[in-house]
Structure 1
Amino acid sequence: MESLLTAQLKLIPEMSELLQKRYRILQTIQLTKGIGRRVLGEQLGLSERDTRKELDTLRNHGLIDISRDGAAITLEGTRLLVDLKEVVREWSGRLQLERQLSQHLHIKEVIIVPGNVDTNTNATMLLSQEAAKYLESILTDEKIVAVTGGSTIASITNFVQETSKWKQLMFIAARGGVGKDVSFQANTIASLFASRMNGTYRTLYMPDSLSEEAYTTMKNEPFIQEMMDLYERTNIIIHGIGDAEEMARRRNTNEQEIERLKEAGSVSEAFGYYFNEQGEAVHRIRTIGIQLKQLQHIEHLLAVAGGAKKAKALLSYFKQAPAQTVLVTDEGAANEMMQIIAQTN
Structure 2
Amino acid sequence: MRKIIDIQKQLLPDLTEVLNKRYTILHHILLSGVVGRRTLASSLNMTERVLRAEVNFLKAQGLLEIETIGMRISDSGKELIEQLRPIMKELLGLTDLEEQIKVRYGLKQVVIVPGDSDFSDYSKKELGRAGAAMLLKYAAKEDIIAVAGGSTTSEIANQLSASTHLKGNLFVPARGGLGEMLELQANTIASNMAKRTGAGYRLLHVPDHLSEDAYQSLIQEPNIKEIIDVIRKSRMVVHGIGEAMVMADRRKVDHTTRQILESEGALAEAFGYYFNHRGEVVHQIPTIGLRIEDIVGTEVVIGVAGGSSKAEAILAVLKFGHEDVLVIDEGAATRMVEVM
What TM-score, normalized to structure 2? 0.94
Of the structure 1 ranges 311-320 and 66-75, higher mean CA displacement relative to structure 2 is found in: 66-75
Tell me the SS of whatever aligns to 2:206. coil
The residue that corresponds to 1:224 in the other structure is: 224
Q: Which residue identity does 2:312 align to in structure 1?
A: K
Which whole-Å deviations, capped at 9, do the CAs of 1:325-345 have from their partners, x for residues lacking one? 21111111111112222xxxx
How many Å apart are 1:65 and its aligned residue?
Answer: 1.7
Query: In structure 1, how many angstroms separate the alpha carbons of the residues matched to 2:253 and 2:4?
Result: 57
Query: In structure 2, how many angstroms separate the alpha carbons of the residues matched to 1:102 and 1:238?
Result: 18
How many Å apart are 1:202 and its aligned residue?
Answer: 1.1
Contact 1:187 1:204 in 2 (8 A): yes
The residue that corresponds to 2:127 in the other structure is: 127
- Percent identity, aligned pairs only? 39
Query: In structure 2, how many angstroms separate the alpha carbons of the residues matched to 1:298 and 1:2?
Result: 36
The residue that corresponds to 1:334 in the other structure is: 333
Answer yes or no: is 1:112 the counterpart of 2:101. Answer: no
How many Å apart are 1:89 and its aligned residue?
Answer: 1.0
How many Å apart are 1:43 and its aligned residue?
Answer: 1.3
Contact 1:178 1:251 in 2 (8 A): no
The residue that corresponds to 1:161 in the other structure is: 161
Query: In structure 2, how many angstroms separate the alpha carbons of the residues matched to 1:286 and 1:33?
Result: 40
Query: In structure 2, how many angstroms separate the alpha carbons of the residues matched to 1:165 and 1:94?
Result: 29
Q: Which residue identity does 2:281 align to in structure 1?
A: A
Query: In structure 1, how many angstroms separate the alpha carbons of the residues matched to 2:122 and 2:262?
Result: 32
Query: In structure 2, how many angstroms separate the alpha carbons of the residues matched to 1:139 and 1:162?
Result: 14
- Unpaired runs of 5+ residues, structure 2, are none
How many Å apart are 1:103 and its aligned residue?
Answer: 2.1
Q: Which residue identity does 1:328 align to in structure 2?
A: V
Answer yes or no: is 1:70 the counterpart of 2:70. Answer: yes
Q: Within 5 A, what are the aligned runs for 1:15-94?
A: 15-94=15-94
Tell me the SS of whatever aligns to 1:158. helix
Contact 1:149 1:178 in 2 (8 A): no
How many Å apart are 1:267 and its aligned residue?
Answer: 0.8
- Kindly tell me: are residues 2 and 270 of structure 1, through their superposed partners in 2, closer, same or farther at Cα, counting changes over 3 Å? closer
Of the structure 1 ranges 126-135 and 64-73, higher mean CA displacement relative to structure 2 is found in: 64-73
Q: Within 5 A, what are the aligned runs for 1:142-161?
A: 142-161=142-161
How many Å apart are 1:212 and its aligned residue?
Answer: 1.4
How many Å apart are 1:257 and its aligned residue?
Answer: 2.0
Tell me the SS of whatever aligns to 1:233. coil
The residue that corresponds to 1:311 in the other structure is: 311
Query: In structure 2, how many angstroms separate the alpha carbons of the residues matched to 1:62 and 1:28?
Result: 17
- Unpaired runs of 5+ residues, structure 1, are none
Query: In structure 2, how many angstroms separate the alpha carbons of the residues matched to 1:273 and 1:221?
Result: 24
Which whole-Å deviations, capped at 9, do the CAs of 1:230-262 have from their partners, x for residues lacking one? 233211111011111111122221223212211
What is the total number of aligned residue pairs between the two structures?
340
The residue that corresponds to 1:286 in the other structure is: 286
What TM-score, normalized to structure 1? 0.93
Of the structure 1 ranges 20-29 and 166-175, higher mean CA displacement relative to structure 2 is found in: 166-175
Query: In structure 1, how many angstroms separate the alpha carbons of the residues matched to 2:125 and 2:168?
Result: 28
Alignment RMSD, CA only? Answer: 1.8
Contact 1:268 1:317 in 2 (8 A): yes
Query: In structure 1, how many angstroms separate the alpha carbons of the residues matched to 2:78 and 2:282?
Result: 47
Query: In structure 1, how many angstroms separate the alpha carbons of the residues matched to 2:179 and 2:331?
Result: 26
Q: Which residue identity does 2:326 align to in structure 1?
A: L
How many Å apart are 1:164 and its aligned residue?
Answer: 5.1
Contact 2:178 2:206 in 1 (8 A): no
Q: Which residue identity does 2:300 align to in structure 1?
A: H
Answer yes or no: is 1:187 the counterpart of 2:187. Answer: yes
Q: Which residue identity does 1:266 align to in structure 2?
A: A
Q: Which residue identity does 2:83 align to in structure 1?
A: D
